[in-house]
C-alpha cells in the first residue's frame, strides 16, 4: 500500500465536491484530485476549490482521471444513483452497484492500491460491492456507515438534555438506513448511562430515533440533497487513516463473526488507523438491541440481493 499525501475522489457532485472542499480546509492532503465522467463539472469544482485554497493551506487541487488515483493513499467513492424525494436509499441499490463496480474496476486497472472509503448509497451494500470488485482486503475497504447517523443521534440526545453534543457518547449501529439501531445502552454523559443521568426526568427516545432515521430524507426534501453531514463523516474517516489515529469510529466494515454475523458490511465501532479497519468491536448490547441488529443485517442481505 503506497504512502502518499494524495487523495482521489470519484464523483464531483454535491457530496464529492463538498468533501474535497472540507479536506482542503482541514489541510490533510497536499494533493486532491476530483474524478468524474462529467469532466466539465469536475474541472469547475476543482477550480472553484483551488481558488478558495489560495487563502488556506497550500495544496494542489485538480480534475483528473483514474491514472491520477494510482498514487493516492485513499480513494473516496461518492458516485452512485440518485434517489428521488422521499425514496429509500436501498431503492437505487442495483443502479448504484453498476456505477460503483465501474468506478472500482477503473481504479484497480489504473493500479490503485490504497484504502477505499465508500459513501455511495446504500453505503453498506456499496462498500460490500466495492470490496468484492476490488479484491482488496476487507480491512482496506470502509463504508461511511453510521458515523453520520451517530453524530445525529448524539446531537438530538443532547438537544433534549440541553447540553453540548460533545458531552454525549453514543452510537447508531447496523445499516445506514431505515433499519439502523439506536444503541441507547451505549449512551454515556459524564460517565453516567442515560437513565442515571436523567434521574427520573422525561426523555422521548422514540422521537430521537425517528428524527435520526428521517434526517436525511428531511434534508433532501428541503434542499434536494444532503452534503455537509456526509462530507464531514468522510473527512473524519480520511483523517483517522491519514494521521494513523487508532480511533474508534462507527463505520461500515465486513463482519467476521461479530454477533454471529459474517461476510456482511454493517456498522459497529471500529478501530481505524493507517491500515484501515484494525479491529471490529462487539459492544455490550441489550437483548432488544441485539435482535434489532440482526434484523438490520437481514435488511442488508435483502438489499445485496438486488446488487447481483
Residues 61 and 16 in one domain: yes
Judged on CB neighbours under 10 Å (0-12, 13-18, 19+), 277 is buried
Structural domain total, the chain: 2
Q: What is the CA radius of gyration of the chain?
A: 19
Residues 17 and 157 in one domain: no
Walk along the chain (308 residues) and give the pLDDT tens digit of each residue: 334 699 999 999 999 999 999 999 999 999 999 999 999 999 999 999 999 998 888 899 999 999 999 999 999 999 987 765 555 556 788 999 999 999 999 999 999 999 999 999 999 999 999 999 999 999 999 999 999 999 999 999 999 999 999 999 999 999 999 999 999 999 999 999 999 999 999 999 999 999 999 999 999 889 999 999 999 999 999 999 999 999 999 999 999 999 999 999 999 999 999 999 999 999 999 999 999 999 999 999 999 998 87
Residues 297 and 154 in one domain: yes
Is residue 159 in some structural domain? Answer: yes
Q: How far is CA 125 from the centre of its chain?
A: 12
Which of 98, 125, 143 marks a domain boundary?
A: 143
Residues 294 and 168 in one domain: yes
Q: State the pLDDT at residue 57.
A: 81
**Among 146, 143, 147, which residue's Cα sits nearest to residue 178?**
146
pTM to 2 decimals? 0.95
- Strand 6-10 with 141-143, pairing: unpaired
Residues 41 and 76 in one domain: yes
Query: Could you give the CA distance from residue 130 to residue 124 in angstroms, rounded to a whole number?
Result: 10
CATH of the domain at 181: 3.90.110.10
> What is the domain extent for residue 179?
147-305
Is residue 1 in some structural domain? Answer: no
Residues 121 and 11 in one domain: yes
Query: Could you give the CA distance from residue 280 to residue 267 in angstroms, rounded to a whole number?
Result: 9
Is residue 58 in some structural domain? Answer: yes
Residues 102 and 154 in one domain: no
Residues 153 and 296 in one domain: yes
Query: Could you give the CA distance from residue 112 to residue 72 in angstroms, rounded to a whole number?
Result: 7
Is residue 76 in some structural domain? Answer: yes
Residues 123 and 263 in one domain: no
Residues 152 and 128 in one domain: no
CATH of the domain at 100: 3.40.50.720
Which of 87, 116, 143 marks a domain boundary?
A: 143
**Among 165, 161, 156, 141, which residue's Cα sits nearest to residue 270?**
141
Could you give the residue numbers annotated as active site?
176
Q: How far is CA 277 from the centre of its chain?
A: 13
**Among 285, 276, 250, which residue's Cα sits nearest to residue 123?**
250
Residues 111 and 158 in one domain: no
Which of 143, 166, 181 marks a domain boundary?
A: 143
Residues 100 and 241 in one domain: no
Amino acid at each position: 500500500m503506497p504512502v502518499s499525501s494524495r487523495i482521489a475522489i470519484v464523483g464531483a457532485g454535491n457530496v464529492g465536491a463538498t468533501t474535497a472542499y472540507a479536506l482542503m480546509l482541514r489541510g490533510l492532503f497536499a494533493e486532491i484530485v476530483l474524478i468524474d465522467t462529467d469532466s466539465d463539472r469536475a474541472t469547475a469544482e476543482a477550480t472553484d476549490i483551488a481558488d478558495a485554497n489560495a487563502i488556506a493551506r497550500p495544496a494542489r487541487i485538480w480534475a483528473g482521471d483514474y491514472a491520477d488515483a494510482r498514487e493516492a493513499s485513499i480513494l473516496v467513492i461518492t458516485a452512485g444513483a440518485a434517489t428521488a424525494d422521499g425514496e429509500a436509499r436501498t431503492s437505487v441499490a442495483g443502479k448504484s452497484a453498476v456505477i460503483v463496480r465501474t468506478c472500482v474496476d477503473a481504479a484497480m486497472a489504473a493500479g490503485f492500491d490504497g484504502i477505499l472509503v465508500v459513501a455511495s448509497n446504500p453505503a453498506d451494500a456499496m462498500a460490500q460491492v466495492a470490496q468484492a470488485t476490488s479484491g482488496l482486503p476487507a480491512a482496506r475497504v470502509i463504508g461511511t456507515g453510521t458515523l453520520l447517523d451517530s453524530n445525529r443521534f448524539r446531537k438530538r440526545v443532547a438537544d433534549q438534555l440541553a447540553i453540548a453534543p460533545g458531552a454525549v457518547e453514543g452510537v447508531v449501529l447496523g445499516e445506514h438506513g431505515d433499519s439502523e439501531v439506536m444503541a441507547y445502552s451505549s449512551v454515556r454523559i459524564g460517565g453516567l448511562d442515560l437513565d442515571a443521568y436523567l434521574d427520573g426526568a422525561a426523555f422521548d427516545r422514540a422521537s430521537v430515533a425517528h428524527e435520526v432515521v428521517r434526517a436525511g430524507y428531511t434534508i433532501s426534501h428541503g434542499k434536494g440533497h444532503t452534503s455537509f453531514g456526509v462530507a464531514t463523516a468522510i473527512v473524519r474517516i480520511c483523517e483517522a487513516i491519514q494521521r494513523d489515529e487508532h480511533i474508534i469510529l462507527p463505520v461500515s466494515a465486513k463482519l467476521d463473526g461479530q454477533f454471529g454475523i459474517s461476510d456482511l458490511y454493517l456498522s459497529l465501532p471500529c478501530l481505524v488507523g493507517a491500515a484501515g479497519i484494525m479491529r471490529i468491536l462487539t459492544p455490550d448490547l441489550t437483548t432488544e438491541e441485539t435482535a434489532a441488529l440482526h434484523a438490520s443485517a437481514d435488511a442488508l442481505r435483502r438489499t445485496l440481493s438486488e446488487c447481483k
